[in-house]
Amino acid sequence: MEKISSIDTLKDKVAIVTGGSGGIGRGVALQLAARGAHVVINGRSRARAQAVLQEIRDLGGRACFAAGDVCSKTDMDSVVAEAERQYGGVDIVVANAGGNDDEARTPQVRGPFESIDLERVTAFVGKAMAAKLMIVQAAVPSMRQRGGGSVVFITSEGGRSPTRGQTAIATFSGGLIAGSKVLAKELIKDRIRVNCVCVTVVRDTPSWNAAFGAQSVVSEMHRKQYETIVSRSPLGVADPLAIGNIAAFLASDDSAYLTGAAVSPTGGLTIH
């Protein structure tokens, strides 16, 4: 298991993490806070976020919760406003929340092309894209005012190395990766960097539990694909804190000359 860093590379930076109350988002929030960032955790449930907020405070960090639906422009504007009210602005956005992960696991959306429901697939792709982009668009003015910043998209490795049955995920994630490169070019004038972290299976997340928990809720094909990933990853399968380490690196000045990149912490499963 990865440990929480104590390197002070983000001192007094302000970070928004969507979906920060659990899974990968929790790992990201903890690693940012451990490096000195003030963290705004976005989600739908304040009660669910309390455990992560307490973990951050136990690290000596500062954090608050800002409720909001990542697919709502109004809600994301409110999240940014809360970050400005609490901490003075926004320096970092980690767009982690997916919008509708339960839908992504259904056989109507994830399965052989000839059997999926294309109306549901295209609706999912649009909603998933909105979930990543709304918070970034809302935060750009604040980041510009602060003299720059960093955007980190957490997305699927399916956008770089597609897997059978992943029409929806590959279409969404591949589009997001391409779109992030457009944003990197557009926002470089404002010293806002934009990068992607592309993940496969990550331990101790809702997706992991859906496949390997006591009551698996995914298809047999889906579960077997996950089993194959676990068995074929030479360096093993990452946990949320490991992904958080990479997001924190991309958020910090340690990656000051890196923008428009897509990195794949897949334990050697995929090589680009």
Distance in angstroms (rounded) separating the CA atoms of residues 141 and 85: 15
Q: Say which residues have a Cβ less than 8 Å from residue 172's Cβ, sequence separation at least 6.
A: 124, 125, 128, 129, 155, 156, 159
Distance in angstroms (rounded) separating the CA atoms of residues 264 and 270: 7
Question: C-alpha distances in angstroms, 73 versus 68, 102, 129, 131?
Answer: 9, 22, 13, 10
Taking only the tens place, the pLDDT of each residue in 121-163 is: 999 999 999 999 999 999 999 999 999 999 999 999 999 998 8
The residue among 36 and 7 whose pLDDT is bigger is: 36
**What band does 74 get if pLDDT is binned at 50, 70 and 90?**
very high
pLDDT of 179 higher than 90: yes
Instruction: Note the pTM of the prediction, 2 decimals.
Output: 0.93
Q: Could you tell me if residue 4 is inside a domain?
A: no
Q: Could you tell me if residue 18 is inside a domain?
A: yes
Q: Could you tell me if residue 78 is inside a domain?
A: yes
169 — phi, psi (to 5°)?
A: -65, -45
Here the tokens at position 152 are 């980190």
Neighbour tally for 232: CB within 10 Å: 12
- Please give the tally of structural domains in the chain: 1
Q: Could you tell me if residue 207 is inside a domain?
A: no
Residue-number span of the structural domain to which 141 is assigned: 14-202+239-263
Q: Could you tell me if residue 208 is inside a domain?
A: no
Supply the pLDDT for residue 257. 97
The residue among 15 and 6 whose pLDDT is bigger is: 15
Q: Could you tell me if residue 244 is inside a domain?
A: yes
For the domain that residue 251 is a member of, what is the CATH number?
3.40.50.720
pLDDT of 3 higher than 80: no
Percent of the chain, pLDDT > 70? 97
Strands 92-95 and 149-156, bridge-based pairing = parallel
Taking only the tens place, the pLDDT of each residue in 86-105 is: 999 999 999 999 877 788 88
Supply the pLDDT for residue 246. 97
Supply the pLDDT for residue 2. 56
DSSP notation for the chain: -PPPP---SSTT-EEEEETTTSHHHHHHHHHHHHTT-EEEEEES-HHHHHHHHHHHHHTT--EEEEE--TT-HHHHHHHHHHHHHHHSS-SEEEE---S-HHHHHSTTTSS-GGGS-HHHHHHHHHHHHHHHHHHHHHHHHHHHHTT-EEEEEEEEGGGTS--TT-HHHHHHHHHHHHHHHHHHHHHGGGTEEEEEEEES--SSSHHHHHHHSSS--S-HHHHHHHHHHHHH-TT----HHHHHHHHHHHHSGGGTT--S-EE--STTSS--
Q: Could you tell me if residue 210 is inside a domain?
A: no
Mean pLDDT value across the chain: 93
pLDDT of 1 higher than 60: no
Supply the pLDDT for residue 117. 95
Distance in angstroms (rounded) separating the CA atoms of residues 173 and 158: 7
Q: Could you tell me if residue 156 is inside a domain?
A: yes
Supply the pLDDT for residue 97. 95
Taking only the tens place, the pLDDT of each residue in 203-262 is: 888 777 777 777 677 777 778 888 888 888 999 999 999 999 999 999 999 999 999 999
Distance in angstroms (rounded) separating the CA atoms of residues 272 and 262: 10
